[in-house]
Structure 1
Amino acid sequence: MSQTIKAAVLSAGAWSQSSHLPALKADPRVQLVAISSPNAEMAANLGRQFEVPHFADWREALAMGPEIVVVSSPPVAHEEQVIAALEAGAHVLVEKPFALSAGPARRMRDTAERLGKVLLVGFGWPAAPIFALARHLIDAGEVGRVEHMTMHLAVNTRALLSGGTDGGWGGKAESNTATYTDKAISGGGSAAVTMSHQLGMVEWLVGEPIVALNASTFPPASDIDLHTTVNAEFAGGGSAALSAASTYPYLARPQWHMALYGGNGQLWADSVADTLRLVRANGETVEYRGPDASGVYDPGAPTKALIECGFGAPAPAGLTARLAARVVAVTDAIYLSSKNNQKLQVEEQ
């Protein structure tokens, strides 16, 4: 196996500038051979900044023969670019939301499986120490069968969903407003943009799919929802109360609060306070704080996972296309339930 690997980033923008490109450039095993952006000025600026050939057309970037590819376009373009990269022989990381609807999500997943290629989706939160520790405790039997959980996630995306261009990603580039305000491009508001992280996290932690739900969004009947509330049922009979909110930018870090209850114990997590608490059935309490329970997000985590997959590592369970396809199916059900004010079964994936 080669000691280096060729990489490309398609449709690079503000998020790629602060996450994917720095992670690729920082790894001496990676040769960044191309970036593309439909905005020629952005492509040129990023090309100069990261010292890499740049193209306006993503097909020209793909023609450079990368072995790993990051697809950083809006969801409306994911299917075409992902399938083209997979068929060109690359392992692929695609940003979330994975797809506008369940059909394209299935087709991307199935193409990767047919070709024997890794397809990752940008669910980076399982790498945060607080959630990696929670999963470890669950796997160790400290919680037992999950009976109920509550999870709230607040992210300062209100400005983006309202037409702003600054996502607070830390780079100089501005986000394209249509990426967040046009449902035909983005797939929706908070349920698609923010809760997709949450839905992937929930199934990864619990180990069971969501099979039924009822939901509401705010503003009611809006194409771009700011806040989402979901009551969900798991395949094993447990339940969850999930909510996602779009906030003003008073705090840079996303705010996760989770309580998870099982037959053997319970977990409580606060990502901003960097605190995870285990309460066992006998009343014994174990508190984890600081670095071991850090809720800081590593924006390069999915990109680093793609690099490792390029060298033969298996796809991390929390980032797989199979998981992401289920998340899209649940998101479809959330919007339909909110529109029709009814409980729905989630379509099989």
Structure 2
Amino acid sequence: MSRVRLGAVGAGWWATSNHFPIFAGRDDVELVGVCGIGPELGAVRDQFGFGMATTHYSELLDAGLDAVVVSTPHDLHYAQAAAAIDRGLHVLVEKPVTLNASQGWDLADRVTAAGVHFLAPYGWNYKPFTIEAKRLVDAGHLGTVQHVLCHMASPTRGLFAGDTNHIRALWDSQTSGPDPSTWQSPAHGGGYAHGQVTHSSALLFWLSGLRAASVMAKVSTGGAAVDLFNAAVITFDNGALGSLSGAATVPDGDPYQVDIRIFGTEGVLLLDTERERMSLHRYDGQKFDLDVPPGSGAYECIVPPNRFIDLITGASTENNSDAEVAARSVELIDAMLRSAAGGGAEVLVHDDDRETP
């Protein structure tokens, strides 16, 4: 394939600040069309050189595409991604890819049946130090996972409960900032669990290969319309236990916190984006301590859109955030919110017989 014919469903702040500049800068991508709403759609088309603009995504999907990037509000992802997959198109879908478990796994099944590439752009899954952590885990240095800690906190109070323009200022978008109706509305998948825990949980599932079996969770809104704080106790399919926490109230300008610790029968993995460290220490005394360059822990999403195109062209075969990883994150968050709505009672994450690879 000489050039990937790409369409974009969604033309808001994140697409225009991150994805579109990357795709527009590649010689092997043709930006066929963009679908969106609002008065800025024509300006977005002209800014990035899309061949057409439409307010109907079905019209875009029928425009002879090879691939689609979906970056619409969370509650719209499923229908738009499913329609693209069913047309045999490769799909990059923003996280969370869906808001409930059944839809997440349905997308994974559709991807398998269609034989297309699917990537959810989780930036931390593509950092060199997390890739090294994954290599060590896959080499068996942890042994069997018995316990995990998964924590994330970020400077996102404004995104979920106030003025969203602070988040906009972190990325250079010429469109309006994040839409509060997406991030601050429970009906549209707003809140910290869907908006941020999706990152940390997807990183955990990719690193560990675990799948959650049951969860007991509580959330707190801190006076907002959506959750700002999350706490959960998780049991995984293999019997391992885990604790998960999330908080939206890191002061603006402070670094994001993602702290994952995995305890196995052979050793312990520590991965920390804030203090920028990664180590795996084995009980036999062997130690792997990676020298992580300053600034490497900061969040960015440069590699995933590029990797999506590379998968399609055959330039790469490595997908660190495929439909399986995305579905495991979705089903955990779905179960967490169901548990919290029931007062923290333990709920099953899944009831199918899907085998863990």
In the alignment, which residue of structure 2 is the partner of 1:326? 328
Matched residues in 1 for 2:116 and 2:288: separation?
41
> Given that residues 258 and 270 in structure 1 are in contact (C-alpha distance below 8 angstroms), is that contact kept between their aligned partners in structure 2?
yes
Length-normalised TM-score, structure 1: 0.91
Matched residues in 2 for 1:152 and 1:248: separation?
13
Letter in structure 2 aligned against 1:333 = A
SS state at 2:5 partner: strand
In the alignment, which residue of structure 2 is the partner of 1:251? 253
Residue range with higher mean Cα deviation, 140-149 or 250-259: 250-259
> Given that residues 121 and 301 in structure 2 are in contact (C-alpha distance below 8 angstroms), is that contact kept between their aligned partners in structure 1?
no
Q: Once the two structures are superposed, what CA deviation does each residue of 1:201-246 show, in whole Å capped at 9, x if it has no partner?
A: 1121111211111111112897610011111112112111111111
SS state at 2:110 partner: helix
Q: Equivalent of 2:192, from 179, 190, 193?
A: 190
> How is 1:1-349 mapped onto 2 (pairs within 5 angstroms)?
2-39=1-38, 41-53=39-51, 54-166=53-165, 167=167, 168-173=170-175, 174-186=177-189, 188-219=190-221, 224-251=226-253, 253-291=255-293, 294-312=296-314, 316=318, 318-340=320-342, 341-348=344-351
SS state at 1:291 partner: coil
Segments of 4+ in structure 1 off by > 3 A? 220-223, 282-286, 312-318
- Kindly tell me: are residues 287 and 194 of structure 1, through their superposed partners in 2, closer, same or farther at Cα, counting changes over 3 Å? same
Matched residues in 2 for 1:179 and 1:50: separation?
24
Matched residues in 1 for 2:223 and 2:339: separation?
11
> Given that residues 86 and 117 in structure 1 are in contact (C-alpha distance below 8 angstroms), is that contact kept between their aligned partners in structure 2?
yes
Matched residues in 2 for 1:8 and 1:252: separation?
35
Q: Once the two structures are superposed, what CA deviation does each residue of 1:135-192 show, in whole Å capped at 9, x if it has no partner?
A: 1111122222122121211122211111423223332331111110112212x41111
Matched residues in 1 for 2:300 and 2:57: separation?
26
Letter in structure 2 aligned against 1:118 = H
Matched residues in 1 for 2:87 and 2:275: separation?
44
Matched residues in 1 for 2:146 and 2:2: separation?
46
Length-normalised TM-score, structure 2: 0.89
Letter in structure 1 aligned against 2:349 = V
- Kindly tell me: are residues 292 and 117 of structure 1, through their superposed partners in 2, closer, same or farther at Cα, counting changes over 3 Å? farther
- Kindly tell me: are residues 348 and 62 of structure 1, through their superposed partners in 2, closer, same or farther at Cα, counting changes over 3 Å? same
Task: Give unpaired runs (5+ residues) of structure 2.
Answer: 353-357
Deviation at 1:293, TM superposition (A): 9.5
Letter in structure 2 aligned against 1:180 = W
Matched residues in 1 for 2:250 and 2:157: separation?
6
Deviation at 1:91, TM superposition (A): 0.4
Matched residues in 2 for 1:21 and 1:112: separation?
24
> Given that residues 130 and 271 in structure 1 are in contact (C-alpha distance below 8 angstroms), is that contact kept between their aligned partners in structure 2?
no
- Kindly tell me: are residues 31 and 317 of structure 1, through their superposed partners in 2, closer, same or farther at Cα, counting changes over 3 Å? closer
> Given that residues 33 and 60 in structure 2 are in contact (C-alpha distance below 8 angstroms), is that contact kept between their aligned partners in structure 1?
yes
SS state at 2:171 partner: coil
Q: Once the two structures are superposed, what CA deviation does each residue of 1:92-120 show, in whole Å capped at 9, x if it has no partner?
A: 01111111222332333333222222222
Matched residues in 2 for 1:163 and 1:57: separation?
31
Deviation at 1:292, TM superposition (A): 9.7
Matched residues in 2 for 1:113 and 1:141: separation?
28
Percent identical among aligned pairs is 29
Matched residues in 2 for 1:326 and 1:16: separation?
24
Matched residues in 1 for 2:106 and 2:261: separation?
35
Letter in structure 2 aligned against 1:43 = L
- Kindly tell me: are residues 131 and 49 of structure 1, through their superposed partners in 2, closer, same or farther at Cα, counting changes over 3 Å? same
Matched residues in 2 for 1:325 and 1:258: separation?
19
- Kindly tell me: are residues 110 and 283 of structure 1, through their superposed partners in 2, closer, same or farther at Cα, counting changes over 3 Å? closer
SS state at 1:194 partner: helix
Letter in structure 1 aligned against 2:350 = E
For these two proteins, the number of residue pairs brought into alignment is 346
SS state at 1:319 partner: coil
> Given that residues 9 and 71 in structure 1 are in contact (C-alpha distance below 8 angstroms), is that contact kept between their aligned partners in structure 2?
yes
RMSD of the TM alignment (CA)?
2.4
> Given that residues 307 and 319 in structure 2 are in contact (C-alpha distance below 8 angstroms), is that contact kept between their aligned partners in structure 1?
no
